[in-house]
Structure 1
Amino acid sequence: MEVASVLHMNGGTGEASYAKNSLLQQKVMSITKPIRDEAIRRIYNGKLPKCLAFADLGCSSGPNTLFMTCELIETVEMLCRELNHESPEYIIFLNDLPGNDFNNIFKFVECFKQNLNTRVVGGIGKCYITGLPASFYERILPTSSLHFVHSSCSVHWMSQVPKGIENNKGNICMASSSPLDVRNSYYHQFQRDFSLFLKCRARELVEGGSMVLTLTGRSTSGPLSNESHYIWELLAEALNDMVLEGIIKEDQIDSFNIPVYYPSSSELQLEIEKEGSFTLNRLEVFEVSWNAACGEEHNDNSEGYKVAQLIRAAAEPLLVNHFGEAIIDDVFHRYQHILADRMSKEKTVLLNLVVSLTKTT
């Protein structure tokens, strides 16, 4: 599987779209707002740039994309009022893989600018928004062209499925039953990817530039944790049920793996220190319940469905590429019931890591 050409969140605004099923990610962004505000204040006060450039990496599409951009601009404008400074111009780079639904974002850009000018007393500085369809595991912008980098719920996605995991039978990611060599392969792929990510951003950020990353993680050094890959293990359970019923072949699931790795905080910190380009200002850990995917619609009947739709918005393109479109409704119907059962009996949370970094070299 060529991840860069297949991986993307479901586009549009339909029932299974990311736009309709990203309330949990919005909750994560809401929790981490104080850390973003702190970082953007630090870079603005330190540089006082006339043109402020920032990038949202793994922006996807839907309300969360421009929601984050709006918050950052409002924070800077508040600072300008406090310091009696003229508003800077803004250049905003929205990055995701080429399959991302950029068209859906750009439909709302002018409306977004108008609303922001209305919300901010006195209006905002000129705002230029552009799309960057590329993998963030490569250079995507010129040297020293950015003041601030943000990424939420994206960096745990890897550049490729690790090599040498053919014996990860019955699983679709690093799971509690995965052999040790499979776990090591996933970890080493994460190390390569995250180190490359840091090197690329270090070149693109100005000296003293800031970066805030939020990604799903786990609390333990081992993979045996219900706040990490467990949500994917339950999807594998639905697929394995279909193998038992002869709907899909066993070798199909044995050859399918999700390119996702949820690091521990110590693994994340180790890679930051090894790469050496950044000072670690903050590394915080927090939980978000799977129920956050339901928003205000919170009842026993909706919980399993909404969480299944959350994962479908991310995983459907990968599943269609490997298994074909015919099984999709069936697998997520089964997954919905498995999720509802577990959520009624267990504590079901995703653990999140947020890091705030400053470029020093």
Structure 2
Amino acid sequence: MVISLPGRRSDELASEFCHLRETLAQILRVMTIEGVIDRVKFDSFYVSMHGPSHEELKVIIQEEGSFSISEMQVHDPRSCVDNALMVPSMFASMMRAVFEPIIVQHFGDVMDEFMACTEQRWRQPGSLEEEVAGNPLVMLVVSLTKAMTRLNLLGRL
């Protein structure tokens, strides 16, 4: 099994997730003001976000015990993208990839409006473009295999 999730570069607490959560909140707040999202639903929306470091993720997986790590990589998905290509639609698509299931479950089918609002926010002065440039994104990619438990081994004897 391969899992890809947002993370942070080190065990130090980072502002990256505050930034991502704040960006999401700003976009949803605008959608609420514009009447796309119900105020009561906006007020009840909560996303618990934790971006582990690769070391923290390794410990969590090992302590849980169901899987063993075959390989783990840490990378910035924007590292091989020319900054000129980081356009509003690309950032909006990245936000959609991360948040669509949660947004649709809570607010309904508002993703077209979410994408438009995200792209619009990118173009404004003091924009998301400037915020994203100042907050590097890190993705953790982990290849896992099902761990052989003692019970499984006993069953094979």
Superposition TM-score, scaled by structure 1 size: 0.32
Give the CA deviation at 1:284.
Answer: 4.1
Q: How does 1:19-168 map to 2 (within 5 A)?
A: 150-153=1-4
Structure with greater proportional helix content: 2
The 3 A distance-change label for structure 1 pair 266 and 251 is farther
Indicate whether 1:336 and 2:115 are aligned.
Answer: no
Structure 1 stretches of 5 or more lacking a match? 1-149, 154-214
Alignment partner of 1:263 out of 33, 42, 52: 52
The 3 A distance-change label for structure 1 pair 312 and 279 is closer
Aligned mates of 1:304, 1:262 — CA distance in 2: 24
Aligned mates of 1:278, 1:246 — CA distance in 2: 45
Aligned mates of 2:104, 2:11 — CA distance in 1: 32
Indicate the residue corresponding to 2:152 in structure 1.
Answer: none
**8 Å Cα contact 1:219/1:351 also seen in 2:** yes
Aligned mates of 1:284, 1:221 — CA distance in 2: 16
Aligned mates of 1:355, 1:318 — CA distance in 2: 22
Aligned mates of 1:277, 1:320 — CA distance in 2: 30
* Larger Rg computed on CA atoms: 1
Indicate the residue corresponding to 1:306 in structure 2.
Answer: 90
Give the CA deviation at 1:262.
Answer: 2.8
Indicate the residue corresponding to 2:155 in structure 1.
Answer: none
Indicate the residue corresponding to 1:238 in structure 2.
Answer: 27
Give the CA deviation at 1:256.
Answer: 2.3
The 3 A distance-change label for structure 1 pair 356 and 252 is closer
Greater RCO, 1 or 2 (C-alpha within 8 Å, sep 6+): 2
Give the CA deviation at 1:271.
Answer: 1.9
Deviation readout 1:263-319 (Å, 9 max, x if unpaired): 222321222332346665654432222884xxx8x637x612122023335544543
Deviation readout 1:198-236 (Å, 9 max, x if unpaired): xxxxxxxxxxxxxxxxx321235566422x463343122
**8 Å Cα contact 2:6/2:51 also seen in 1:** yes
Residue 343 of structure 1 aligns to a residue whose secondary structure is helix
Deviation readout 1:121-178 (Å, 9 max, x if unpaired): xxxxxxxxxxxxxxxxxxxxxxxxxxxxx3142xxxxxxxxxxxxxxxxxxxxxxxxx
Alignment partner of 1:351 out of 138, 144, 157: 138
Give the CA deviation at 1:252.
Answer: 1.0
Deviation readout 1:64-104 (Å, 9 max, x if unpaired): xxxxxxxxxxxxxxxxxxxxxxxxxxxxxxxxxxxxxxxxx
Give the CA deviation at 1:238.
Answer: 1.1
Aligned mates of 1:235, 1:304 — CA distance in 2: 15
Aligned mates of 1:329, 1:277 — CA distance in 2: 38
Runs of 4+ in 1 over 6 A off after TM superposition: none
Query: Match for 2:115: what amino acid?
Result: F
Give the CA deviation at 1:322.
Answer: 2.7
Structure 2 stretches of 5 or more lacking a match? 150-157
Q: What value does the CA root-mean-square deviation take over the aligned residues?
A: 3.7
Calculate percent identity across the aligned residue pairs. 30
**Number of positions where the alignment pairs a residue of Structure 1 with one of Structure 2:** 144
Superposition TM-score, scaled by structure 2 size: 0.62
Indicate the residue corresponding to 2:43 in structure 1.
Answer: 254
Deviation readout 1:303-356 (Å, 9 max, x if unpaired): 12122023335544543443233x443332221133452324533432122445
Indicate the residue corresponding to 1:216 in structure 2.
Answer: 6
